[in-house]
Structure 1
Amino acid sequence: MKKLLVFLLALTATFTVNAQIVTPQPSPSSKLEQKVGLTDITLEYSRPNMRERVIFGDLVPYGSIWRTGANLRTKITFSTDVSVDGQPLKAGTYAIFTKPEATSWDVYFYTDYAGGGVPQPWDETKIAAKINTPVYPMPMKIETFTMTFDDLTNDSAVLGMLWEGVYVGVKLDVPTDDMVLTSINDVMNGTPTANDYYSAAVYYLQTNKDIKQAKTWIDKAITMAGDKVAFWQLRQQSLIYAKAGDKKGAIAAAKKSLAASEKAGNADYVKMNQDSLKEWGGM
């Protein structure tokens, strides 16, 4: 009995010693994952609040390099090579440092991303890219430091930074077109499927490439699909024909897509096809 009591007392003491009070972080961490085209971008940073303080020009002095957040260094990772405001960056991870001024910021992509705070000493040889970008005043106060991916396209995005009353953005360009064209060439030199022909044709349509080639590929896709062809595939065929200047072919494909989308009960495609047929004089 005494041994049991001693064991229980020791166990209680262990729990008491190891117990810790858990409270919210004043600058909570955040992780954003964004696909831009075929490139995966991951952003990790901490988010301090204003808390009635003056931020830029005071808490964050003008002309001084800032960690761009709080706690550990802000990190950004690219799965492919990219360019930042026209400057090339290899695939990999970088710390983001900034030097705020009243009307513009310098933004640094720094190869040493481990640790916290600004490196001491600062090593110019570790700057992979440096960009100067203008400050845009915000119509409202932003309490919490925020980073965003804005203006997404297949080929680019804008890395945004907002806090207090300012916004700054850095243009990121990704090599989507080169990657897609390489993929298309590789597949077309093999044994492409109906879906491969369809995807290549639609990509050529959307990126204003050789529309005659797109027309050849979409025809192969539709032929290979046979009676399993979908209304959205016929819709793209009609758009490709229209862009190629074949209005008769475009109308015929749109009518097939309209009938198939009506049968499927897809109101969006019904309207799109009807609008196109009216535009092309098909109804």
Structure 2
Amino acid sequence: MGAEDDDRRARATLGWLCEPGDTGLRRLLARHAPRDVVDMLSRQEVPVVRRSEIRHLPTSRLWDEAAAAVEEAQRGGGRVVIPADPDWPPGLRGPDGGQPVCLWARGPAPIPPPAASVTIVGSRASSSYGNHVAADLAAGLATHGWTVVSSGGLGIDSAVLRAALAVGGRAVAVLPCGLDRLHPHQHRALLARLAETGLLLSVQPPGADPTLARMAAHRALLAALTAGTVVVEASARSAALQTVRQALDRGRAGLVVPGPVTSAVSAGCLELLRTDARVRAVGCAGHIVADLAPPPGGGPRGGDTGDGHT
């Protein structure tokens, strides 16, 4: 137990110091134990590339700040998840192919196994049609035992999480920032509720701001967590398309709600269906379950999952 605690604290310290995809850190961890890497960095035996928010800190304060941040992150329902934990997502890797040093979690729920969960994402500038379909899919899946995963962002993603919670289902929000940031601020109440009843998850440490450069790691986690990714609405350049492509590249299912051919926010969905033979069209929760394995211990298969949903 002591060795595992040391490993967890060391990984959390490294995760607080560096960006999740830092190649120099990855090379060090390939040759040394996390605790040894922390010692090497603290003695300045090897250089460390700090993430942007802490580059201003003098070295004399760096390690005390790291220890305080890790301690604070594990209070009030927070925890650091490491590869040795039973709920570490299998096959998890970032956009560069490497495994994150740790994950940051907040909330009472464990990280769901991929076979029991579905990612649903879509446009921030969603239509009323898209919000309705997204909510209907999420409610249907949650009612039948699936964990619904999304980002908590504007538009489709928040509609998905709210719908799952409304039927008493399990929901996970993956954030592109530290879990002390609750981004976007418009959804603080929703995310705070998930922190109390469900789960918030991130590859980014406390204090990390959401930036464009960090979105790739965010989308990789969304894609890797579940059995498949569903896109409800997406314009031609929507980031939601990148999430479903990452899911496909990881051997997970890629599912798309076609949407009206006249809708700009469905143009990306239609193009993905035309150009990628791996993608399947779906229109209800039953379609989704038919393309995925049933959740362990209980959910019904495809046709029994509420064909009455949109």
Normalising by structure 1, report the TM-score.
0.22
User: Which protein has the bigger strand share?
Assistant: 1
Higher relative contact order (CA 8 A, sep 6+): 2
- The TM-score with structure 2 as length reference comes to 0.21
